[in-house]
Amino acid sequence: MTSQFLRNPHLDGDAFFWQAGTTGALLIHGFTATTAEVRLLGEYLHARGYTVSAPLLPGHNTSPDEMNRCKWLDWTRTVNDAYAQLATQCERVFICGESMGAILALYCASEHPEAIGVCAYAPALLMPASRAIQVRLLAPFVPYAKKPVRAPNATDPRWKGYSVNPLRAVVQLNKLQLETRRRLSRIHQPVLVVQGRLDQTIDPRGGPVILAEVSSTIKEMHWLEKSTHCIILDQEWEHAAELAYKFMERVTQ
C-alpha cells in the first residue's frame, strides 16, 4: 500500500541482498525511512567486493499507521534475521546503520559478539527526557506529527520515507534507545561513529557517549563538517562511505 505520507514513492525502498565477496555488510536504515537511505552506501561497498544486505524494517514503506502498530522488538528481530542470513553467506560481517539504524546495529552487535565491527552513522542514541515524556503523553491521542519543513530529508530526491513521525513508534524508539544504551558495555567489536556537524535531528552527544561506554579497544569518531542528519545521502556521502570502507579494510587486515 502506498501511503499518502510517503515521500518519493517512485523510489525502490524494499529490502535488497547483493552477493559478492566473503565479507558482508549489513546496512540498516533509519526511523521512518526505507532502504533507499542506505542504497548509495550499499552500491559503494558492493563495488569494492562486499556482500551487502539491507532489510526493510517493519512498519516502513507502508503507512505511518502500520508503523504505529510496531514494537521495537519487531525491528530488532528483523535485523537479527537479516544478520543470520548474511552470516551464512559470509565469513565476516560488519553491522552498519544510519540514525535509528545505527542504534539497531549496536543492539545487534551486543547480541552477536562474533560480528567483526560496527559502523554507526548519526546514531540516534539520546532523546531528551522532556521530549520522551511529551511524546508518551500525546501518543494515545495523536497518531503522528508532521516533520519540520526544513527536515534534512524533506527535499532530498534520493530519500524515501514518511513525511510525519508516528508518535507511538517514537515511544518504541525511545525504548530501543534505553535498552541499547544499557547494552553498550557488552560491545567489544571495533566501532566507527560518523556524525554531521550540521545535524539538528539527533543529540550530538550520542556518538561520544557510545565511544565512552562500549568496551571496544578500537573505536573512531569522525565529524563531517558540511553534512546534516542523513550523512550517507548528503553532499559528503562519498566521504562517509570511504570512512566505512577504510575502517572495514583496517579491521579485516
pLDDT exceeds cutoff 50 at 42: yes
Predicted confidence band at 116 (pLDDT cuts at 50, 70, 90)?
very high
CB neighbours of 221 closer than 8 A, spacing ≥ 6?
192, 193, 194, 195, 207, 208, 211
Number of domains in the chain: 1
Percent of the chain with pLDDT over 90: 85
pLDDT exceeds cutoff 70 at 151: no
pLDDT exceeds cutoff 90 at 131: no
Give CA–CA dist 82/101, Å, rounded.
13
**For the residues 201-223, what does the mean pLDDT come to?**
96
User: 82 and 94 in contact (C-beta within 8 Å)?
Assistant: no
Q: Provide the pLDDT for residue 1.
A: 45
1 in a structural domain: no
| The three three-digit cell numbers of residue 113, written as one number | 559478539
Nearest C-alpha neighbor of 59 from the set 171, 142, 136, 138: 171
**For the residues 112-136, what does the mean pLDDT come to?**
90
CATH code of the domain in which 198 resides:
3.40.50.1820
pLDDT exceeds cutoff 50 at 70: yes
pLDDT exceeds cutoff 80 at 58: yes
pTM: 0.95
Task: Report which of residues 197 and 155 the model is more confident about.
Answer: 197
Cα–Cα distance list, 174 to 110, 169, 207, 252 (Å): 18, 9, 16, 33
Q: In what order do the strands lie in the sheet with 219-224?
A: 16-18, 51-54, 23-28, 92-98, 117-121, 191-196, 219-224
**For the residues 84-104, what does the mean pLDDT come to?**
97
Q: For residue 92, give its domain range.
A: 6-252
Q: Provide the pLDDT for residue 19.
A: 97
Write the burial class of residue 129 (CB in 10 Å: 0-12 exposed, 13-18 middle, 19+ buried): exposed
234 in a structural domain: yes
The CB density around residue 225, as the number of other CB atoms within 10 Å, is 9
**For the residues 118-129, what does the mean pLDDT come to?**
92
pLDDT in tens, 161-178: 999 999 999 999 999 999
CB neighbours of 178 closer than 8 A, spacing ≥ 6?
none
70 in a structural domain: yes
pLDDT in tens, 226-250: 999 999 999 999 999 999 999 999 9
Mean pLDDT of the chain: 94
Give CA–CA dist 213/84, Å, rounded.
26
**For the residues 185-213, what does the mean pLDDT come to?**
96
Q: Provide the pLDDT for residue 152.
A: 57
